[in-house]
Structure 1
């Protein structure tokens, strides 16, 4: 539901960001903790009620915390080793929190819980089910926090967190086209490039650009009955429908991208290559290369 100031345009637009603040970190961690009991099928604490001489199950928080020391070693913890939200000037790794969100998403299952007896309430029992309908509720809560805080992330139905990419030609339609590329090597390079581009951690930008440039170079050799120059010429001619004006444009773009790949630290890492220090420039290079490839693959035979 939009609030009054949102409905009437009285609120400033939410600043879009990839930085998880301490306040948002707390909200996201609370959302994870709310569903810890849905991990009981992994972290069971067997208890026994001597009064009624019956066993019951609780969520084993201690076992969970110990497991997370191995699974997510750098997530923020208090002095007692418990996963908590950072305070004041605490330094934290936001991507470790993303790991936790994904871990809960991957392992979440439905539970049925309640008192053993409505009258005497001797113990509270958790019964583990083999269904995952609860994931939809968890996904909605996480994504609502992402959306309301302006975070450029989303928890997908595949139970992974991807960054929301703005001002990009990348679309579901293009991803579908990539899946249909007949040549295995080009297809796999493109899939890897897109996955890295959508990864929340900015450190993956360089790898995504390197992969898509590798895909561009392999695309030029699509026609294995021709040498590289002949194959590249056929790719350009097919894209251009044989029209000279478009041949000139696309040939120049292939050459320009090849020069960029050779001049900047993209595919080669010698000391004389130009470093890319601004992630927005990586996004520009990726999207420019993607635009050409996305068009070219529609004409491949």
Structure 2
């Protein structure tokens, strides 16, 4: 729910960012810890209550800590090896925290806790279920923190975290249009490019540009009964619908993207290629190439 100052435009909006500061790190980690017992199904601890001589199930925190230490080794820990919140001045890997959130998202299951006896309440046991309705609550809690802090990430229904790209031409309708491409190789490259583009880690951004350029080059050979040059010409002519002005426009853009792919370190990595020095250039290049491809595939036979 938006508060008074937000509703009335008094509060300045949060700066949109991909960087998780320590305060937001703490909120996200606390959110995960609230759902820790929903992992009991994979971290079961069989306990025994001596007084009642009864066995019962609790959450195995030690087993959880050990598993996460192996699975997410760079997750920040304190001097005692416990999963913890960084202090100001500490170095931490924010993407490991996103790994932890995805681990929870993919493994939380519904549970119920109950006392062995409502009168004496000697111990609480946990009943585990196969359903995962609790994921929706976890997803909403995480995404609320992302939104309120200005973080450009989203925990999706696929139970993975994707970055939200500012000023991107990529839409869900566009992604759905990729399904219309009959050539499987182009379709796979487009899907891989988009997945990398949405990946939170900036290191994947360069790979997304490489994949989208691979898709562009493969698109040129879409009509296998023609050589590459004539296949490209057919694509351009179909896009232009016989209008010479647009034939010229699309030919220029095809050539420009081809030259960019050859000059910059996108598909080729020789020492004489120009490095993409700023990660924001990757977003620009990705969207420029994607826009042309998206238009072109609408005119394929």
Q: Where in structure 2 are the equivalents of 1:67-82 lying within 5 Å?
A: 67-82=67-82
Which runs of no fewer than 5 residues in structure 1 stay unpaired?
Answer: none
| Cα separation, 2, equivalents of 1:14 and 1:20 | 13
SS at 1:57's partner residue?
strand
Unmatched runs of 5 consecutive residues or more in structure 2: none
Aligned to 1:26: 26
- Residue 161 of structure 1 pairs with residue 161 of structure 2: yes
Taking structure 2 as the reference length, the TM-score comes to: 0.99
Deviation of 1:280 after TM superposition, in Å, equals 0.9
Match of 1:124 in 2: 124
Structure 1: 4+ residue segments shifted above 3 A? none
Q: CA deviation at 1:180?
A: 2.4
Aligned residue for 1:277, secondary structure, equals coil
Q: 2:286 is matched with which residue?
A: 286
Matched residue count:
301
* 1:168-247 to 2 correspondences below 5 Å: 168-247=168-247
Question: 1:172 deviation in Å?
Answer: 0.3
Mapped to 2, the partners of 1:136 and 1:15 lie a distance apart of 27
User: 1:29-68 to 2 correspondence within 5 Å?
Assistant: 29-68=29-68
TM-score of the two chains, using structure 1 as the length reference: 0.99
After TM superposition, give the deviation of residue 118 of structure 1 in Å: 1.1
Cα RMSD, aligned residues only: 0.7
Deviations 1:196-215 (A, max 9, x none): 00000111110000000000
CA positional deviation for 1:179? 2.3
Structure 1 CA distance for aligned equivalents of residues 35 and 215 of structure 2: 41
Match of 2:253 in 1: 253
Match of 1:277 in 2: 277
Post-superposition CA distance 1:41-76 (Å, at most 9, x none) = 000110011222221111000000000111000100
Distance in 2 (CA, whole Å) between partners of 1:26 and 1:13 is 21
CA distance in 2, matches of 1:7, 1:232: 52
| SS of aligned partner of 2:209 | helix
Alignment deviations for residues 205-233 of structure 1 (CA, whole Å, 9 cap, x no partner) = 10000000000000000000000001000
Please, which moves more after superposition, 95-104 or 77-86? Answer: 77-86
